[in-house]
Structure 1
Amino acid sequence: MTFSIVARDGEAFGVAVASKFPFVGAVVPEVRLGLGAVATQALAKVGYKATALDALSGGGDAGDAVAACTEPDDERDDRQLGVVGVASQATWTGSRCLPWAGGIARPETRDGVVTGGYAIQGNILVGPEVVESMERAWLASAGRPFADRLLAALLAGDDAGGDSRGRQGAALYAVSPGAGYDRSGVLADIRIDDHPQAPRELARLVGLNALLFGAPEEVQPLEGPLGTEVGQRLAALGFTGDPLVVALEAWASRENYESRLSPNGIDARVLAALREATSDAAEP
């Protein structure tokens, strides 16, 4: 009833999942910074998440983690599991999972060097093309931000038909050193619990998450024509100050963009948000 990707890219680990099942984000994914990521699905056993991560923490690889979960479990043939560790990946599909069900697990290399790995799996899917499309999208997105890569794979699976019963829940949970609201490592923790277009709604919130919690990027100095434009747009919203950065900081704080403030100018995403907010109010 679910399709997911569990992946590592460098030091980032994460899971993206979608299903015709509400609250899928509370059941399927678990990620531990510096260690690995897990997805438990089909007749999901939530306890698999801790068992798999503990196996990785104890020095086992992803295959050992799968074995630690499934070997003592009499209902393993009804379950599905994906695990990615620091240097390994594995997927499990029980023989009684409802068709179509299956998965793949492979390392990812760039220029002959292993840079990550992924496990992609699903059950009650329209066919194997869902998993195949997800793998192609993951590989084609190399070099993009990690959360965007996970999302690209999930959306590709959805576009290929996804869960044969439809859409309802989706989630993306990812960690990376120094990422997130207080730079403690949570890159994204987003759940769509009951929505008719859950993967697309997830995509919208992944973009918002990046805007609110991402580090500054493509910073341009507040000088010349750009400085004039930013000053006019901020004034149209009721924010003025000298130097201009005072007004920018006041507006950005109101909109919760503090993570993207830079002493060197204005972040590209903040600039885009400012332009959108003043599309009618100011035309420099």
Structure 2
Amino acid sequence: MSVQTPAAPPTTAGAETPWRRNVASFCRSPVAVLGLVLLLALTIPALFAPWVAPQNPYDIGALDIFESELPPGSVSESTGMTYWLGTDGQARDILSAILYGMRTSLLVAFTSVSAALAIGALVGLAAAYFGGVLDAVLMRIVDIQLSFPAILVALVMLSVLGQGVDKVILALIVVQWAYFARTARSAAIVERNREYVQAARCLSLGPGRIILRHVLPNCLPPLIVIATIDLAHAIGAEATLSFLGIGVPVTEPSLGMLIANGFEFMFSGQYWISFFPGIALALLILAINLVGDQLRDVLNPRNAS
């Protein structure tokens, strides 16, 4: 008579977690990989612009006014440097100006979105957790904020505050925080009645600790998706405000300002002054949107099962 050996218990070694499965799905998406590669190709040189740019386009001593409006591929007679994308009306190298301008756009976008995310998340979580009068008051403020077009609010603020990178960041924070507040509240309402929140209350934990350490982590996925999409919106809004002449001043780099500077030359044949900064702006926004769109699928709670 043969003796059966008890089967070994199933092992979880190497088991694929939902997070790994979703990350693998992200990597298998050609669109997501293309967006990520494009985003890195644009942002890394921009972040290190002072070291990788052929010229400091905002150093007056490095400019030769006799080399203004040179077409793409021109070679400097004084320095021998090749202007791969040409020069603008101030003799600035377009490629260098794009790198510096993109650096400013990324700074404005990341700073404003991060601050708006923090403010909006705290407002939304507090409204959902405490409810009652506080929820009603905060959500009415959010409703009023969302009832106005974002670009109109930014235009009014900057017309009062004046130009400057810090003022653009402040204006974008004001127009963005309400989106995060609404999203955080919707996610927190689902979480506030869960068992882990009830258990934390039974342990007499303070509301602040429950909100920040227990509720917030479970509300982060939709907030991260909104933040990614808002990065593209912030970059576009900053470019629009600078193009209109009320955003970043002319003494500082900005993609919107570069497009505005070359707009008057479009009909005289110097297309490259506005064309290449416009292409760089479009590619940056496209790359962020491609990554954000796939990130929405990765962080979808329905895919965590």
TM-score between both structures, scaled by the size of structure 2 = 0.23
TM-score between both structures, scaled by the size of structure 1 = 0.24
Instruction: Compare the two structures and name the one with the higher strand fraction.
Output: 1
- Relative contact order, higher structure (CA 8 A, sep 6+): 2
* Structure with max Cα Rg: 2
Instruction: Compare the two structures and name the one with the higher helix fraction.
Output: 2
